[in-house]
Structures are given as structure tokens and as C-alpha cells.
Amino acid sequence: MSSSHDHADDSEHEGPLVLAVSDRHPRVRTIQVVRPEAQDTTYLAATAKGFGITLKHFAKNLFLPLKKLSGRANAGAPVEERFRNDIETVQYPEEKVTYPERFRGLHRLTLRDDGSTRCVACMCCPTVCPAHCITIIPEESGDTSIEKRPAIFEIDELRCVVCGLCVEACPCDAIRMDTGEHAKPVEDRARAIETRETMLARGVRSIATQGGEGPNWRATAPDTKTDVNR
Ligand code: SF4
Ligand code: SF4
């Protein structure tokens, strides 16, 4: 392949220095790769800059409250108000912030009227779960009207992304995320796994009709026909 090795004029181009351009296509070019200098690859400057920012915040948090303290004393504020620290620190677990209303919390499995789990091990929730953190091993339920129930139902809370898709997918209102309970801190991974028993212990009776309303639901449903011409 022949190529012209005409050197391009640097002043006319932005970007890397073009050393040569192909005769066949102007976009096939030889460019000069600019390697970073040694001082740019040590990250020392960036580290020093980050350390400086940290020190600045540390000094601000240490001395600004003292400045405010003397200001409050001069203004005649009561003693407890004078020593109020404006640094936003929550002394967890003694203090807890109020979670927003839409906070979901840990999962729970709901119960039938007889206290058994409503889950029929249909596998909809592990199928939809984007984090693949639900493990269900089904077994025969022993009830001729219900095919299966979960022998093992586990959720790895360290992998769960709290998306709520398992709740949306469940056809039986068998799993919910409405406990408002924060996941507990754990020291080993196995303790972060919610089991069927722990989720049933948070269980509530569901008022949803188990298995739907049967094949006659159309007869009792309100008229929901849509006008296709609308
Ligand atoms: S909330 Fe989302 S990630 Fe967590 S178990 Fe349910 S589907 Fe999976
Ligand atoms: S919790 Fe609901 S979606 Fe998940 S397996 Fe049980 S019945 Fe199916």
C-alpha cells in the first residue's frame, strides 16, 4: 500500500499530531501518541490536592463550631443551644434517621388464614430478579388444591438491589417489601441471607384472594371494555 508521508501542519489541526495520511483514504492516518510524563503518572499532585481538600473540611468542621459557639454565647443563647454541633453526624445505632415514606425495607412472606405461606413456588420472583439473589427449592404442598410450596426460600440481602420487582411479579401477594426494617449489619455473608423462616416471622395475613377469583372473574369484574376507536 502506498502512502504519502506528508507531514501535516500542526497549527491547522486540533488533537494528536498527524504524521502521515493514507493515499487510499484520508481517514487512515498515522498519529503521534503522546505518552504522559513521569510526573503525571505518579499521581502525587492529585494525592496532595485530595489530602488538602480533606484537611480543609477537617479544619472547617473543627473550628467553625467553636466560632459559632462564641457567637451564640455573645448573643445570649441558652447553654444547650450554644453547644449544639452543626456537623451532621448521626450516632447510629443509638440514633436513627427517619426514612422516607416510600422506603421498602426487608422482605416478608405473607400468610394464608391457616397460617401457612401463600407462596406457591411459581418461580416468578427468582426469574424476574435482576440480581439473581432469590433461591427457591419447591416441594409438594400436600394440599391437593395447591401444587407446590417453597421448602427453601432464601434472599441474599447483600446482592438485593431493592428494586421491588419480586413483589410486582408475584401473582399471589406472597412476598412484600413493606416492613420498613433496615437490613442488619453482619460480619459474614451467610448472616445476610434471609430465610423462609425469618421472612415468615415478619409475615402478615394477606386479604388478597388466593389464586384469584377463579374462572368466573369476568362475570363479576366491572366493565373494563376499552373503546378501540377512541
Ligand atoms: S427487590 Fe429486586 S433485587 Fe431484591 S430480591 Fe426482589 S427482585 Fe431481587
Ligand atoms: S413469592 Fe410469589 S412470585 Fe415468588 S415464587 Fe412465591 S408465589 Fe411465586
121: left (phi over 0), alpha (psi -120 to 50) or beta: left
Q: Is residue 146 a contact partner of residue 152, using CB atoms and an 8 Å limit?
A: no
Percent of the chain residues topping a pLDDT of 70: 77
Region of poorest pLDDT, from 3-7, 103-107, 161-165, 213-217:
3-7
pLDDT tens sequence across 75-112: 777 766 666 655 667 888 788 888 888 899 999 999 98
DSSP strands (E only) in 99-203: 108-109, 134-140, 148-156, 175-176, 193-194
| Average pLDDT estimate for 155-181 | 94
CA distance 164 to 125: 10
Q: Given this model, what pLDDT does residue 145 score?
A: 84
Delineate the domains of the chain, giving CATH numbers in brackets.
Answer: 108-201 (3.30.70.3270)
DSSP 51: H
| Most ligand 1 atoms within 8 A of CB, residue of 108, 166, 175, 194 to mutate | 166
pLDDT tens sequence across 146-166: 899 999 999 999 999 999 999
* Cell digits of residue 181: 426494617
Residues with CB under 6 A from ligand 1: 129-131, 133-134, 155, 160-166
104 Cα–ligand 2 center, Å: 18
| Average pLDDT estimate for 19-48 | 85
Q: Is residue 125 a contact partner of residue 134, using CB atoms and an 8 Å limit?
A: yes
Q: Model confidence at 59, in pLDDT bands (50, 70, 90)?
A: confident
Q: Is the dihedral of CA 48, 49, 55, 58 positive or negative?
A: negative
Of residues 64 and 163, more confidently modeled: 163
Of residues 190 and 38, more confidently modeled: 190
Nearest atom (ligand 1) to Cα of 155 = 5
Query: Residue 132 above 90 pLDDT?
Result: yes
- Model pTM above 0.85: no
Nearest atom (ligand 2) to Cα of 123 = 5
| Average pLDDT estimate for 40-61 | 86
Q: Given this model, what pLDDT does residue 139 score?
A: 96
